[in-house]
Amino acid sequence: MKLYQRTIRDLHQMLVDREISSVELTDAVFNQIDAVGDKTKAYLLVTRDLALRQAKAADERLRAKRDVRPLTGIPIALKDVLCVKDVASTAGSKILRGFIPPYSATVVERLEREGAVFLGKTNCDEFAMGSSNENSGYRPVHNPWALDRVPGGSSGGSAASVASGEAIAALGSDTGGSIRQPAALTGIVGMKPTYGRVSRYGLIAFASSLDQIGPMTRDVADGALLLQAIAGHDPRDSTSSSRPVPDYLATLTDGVKGMRLGVPKEYFVAGMEPAVEHSIRDAIRLLEQQGASIEEVSLPHSDVALPAYYIIAPAEASSNLARYDGTRYGFQAGGGRNIIEEYMKTRQEGFGAEVKRRIMLGTYALSSGYYDAYYLQAQKVRTLIIEDFRAAFTKVDALLGATSPTAAFELGAKTQDPVAMYLNDIITIPANLGNVCGISVPCGIVDGLPIGLQVIAPGFAEEIALRVAYAFEAATEFHRARSPLMGAAA
């Protein structure tokens, strides 16, 4: 098996045993980036010099057996919405071209303390707005399983990097499904923690009440390790929770025997591909065979989650993105006859079509005369969705369903129909609005394309979601499947 095909845990042991060095491992991953990077377009920036410096420092720690941690020497990719000090960070947008942050995100600092190696900044939908990674301000990302297909979005670059062997693991961000959906479409594991579990300091904001950073990995145990490293209170983020972070590996192997698992009837949506539904129902039966009791439940307001999200998120985006005017940092169009004209030219040329669409939607929803009719109503719907989850979790320990209603679709298939594109998020969005946690784990392959099972657990119960996902993973081989670009294990 090639080094870039292995898990974090395997590589950690090899590093500790001095079978390999972090420099050798990092070189192996960069060789894979050189081999397939032009096909996937997973990276916007490769930080080769930084990575090799960090790898050498990790080797010194390993050699001296000093403060060696599970991620020491492990090459990790970072979504381009995460600030890294002195490294260009654009959020996939031309309006931030040339922006060099003077600070790092908290999650980046925590990975640095672990001794991780940063491979570069992964491509993403502009300001994390998209479900296919076709909204990048630079170039679309291609799915390593089929290059004519999307990898999902907005963390498509992070997903593609892990699925193609261009990273051992990656961080993404999830506002309405942007970790879980691309994980499902590329055959990897992706987790959205509860809002507040992971600091958002240094995350370039899309929708501040919904954004959350999470791990994207080859398997569930790697996801638990990466989450362990980045979770916890941060005084620089006022929305960060002070709740203690449990040991996510401690209960990972406890199994599902005796657990109550719910299946929301609303999550088998119209338009779901038959192959997806078949794989999900097979996965549910398998967990039942392992000793879980399965119960149908209802989340009655699921049908209004999508319209509520597409009012709340654009409203927050219109406010967050008002700061990009070309006068302080990033792109400046130039040629304006006055400051107002300069603002308009910069934003017109710097933002892509989808970002403009959402800014206009959000500004309209917040405008005088429409605030009560749209934004306030959407917030009331959000409260109802929170109550739906609360009621469901009095009956069951976790919820099961598909991550995406379809497998990866062809590039360009939905770019002319925004509503069709938005419908890809119909099963993932409720978890963001309801402030619960969710994980996607591979559960099938149909016509050469992966399918993901979504496990949703109560807020701050990530260990439950991880435990159910691990139990399913341990009983199947889907997580061992490799994309054609990753290659079969030798």
Phi, psi of 16 (to 5 degrees): -65, -40
pLDDT of residue 488: 65
Q: Would you say residue 259 has pLDDT above 60? A: yes
Angle, CA 387 vertex, CA 426 and CA 259 arms, to 5°: 80
Q: pLDDT tens digits, residue range 274-292?
A: 999 999 999 999 999 999 9
| Average pLDDT over every residue of 175-195 | 98
pLDDT of residue 489: 57
Strand partners, 45: 121
Q: What is the mean pLDDT of the chain?
A: 97
pLDDT above 70 coverage of the chain, percent: 99
pLDDT above 90 coverage of the chain, percent: 95
Task: Find all residues with CB under 8 Å of 319, minimum gap 6, and list them.
Answer: 362, 366
Q: What are the domain boundaries of the chain?
A: 3-257+472-480, 306-370
Q: pLDDT tens digits, residue range 360-374?
A: 999 999 998 899 999
Catalytic residue among 104, 154, 164, 199: 154
Residue with tokens 């922006």: 99
99 DSSP assignment = -
Q: Would you say residue 490 has pLDDT above 50? A: no
Architecture of domain 3-257+472-480: Alpha-Beta Complex (3.90)
Task: Find all residues with CB under 8 Å of 202, minimum gap 6, and list them.
Answer: 82, 83, 101, 103, 104, 105, 106, 107, 108
Q: Would you say residue 420 has pLDDT above 90? A: no
pLDDT of residue 419: 86
Q: Would you say residue 153 has pLDDT above 60? A: yes
Residue 380 annotated as catalytic: no
| Average pLDDT over every residue of 248-275 | 96
- Listed residue (489, 408, 473, 404) closest to 446, CA to CA: 408
Residue 79 annotated as catalytic: yes
Catalytic residue among 41, 79, 121, 414: 79
Q: Would you say residue 322 has pLDDT above 60? A: yes
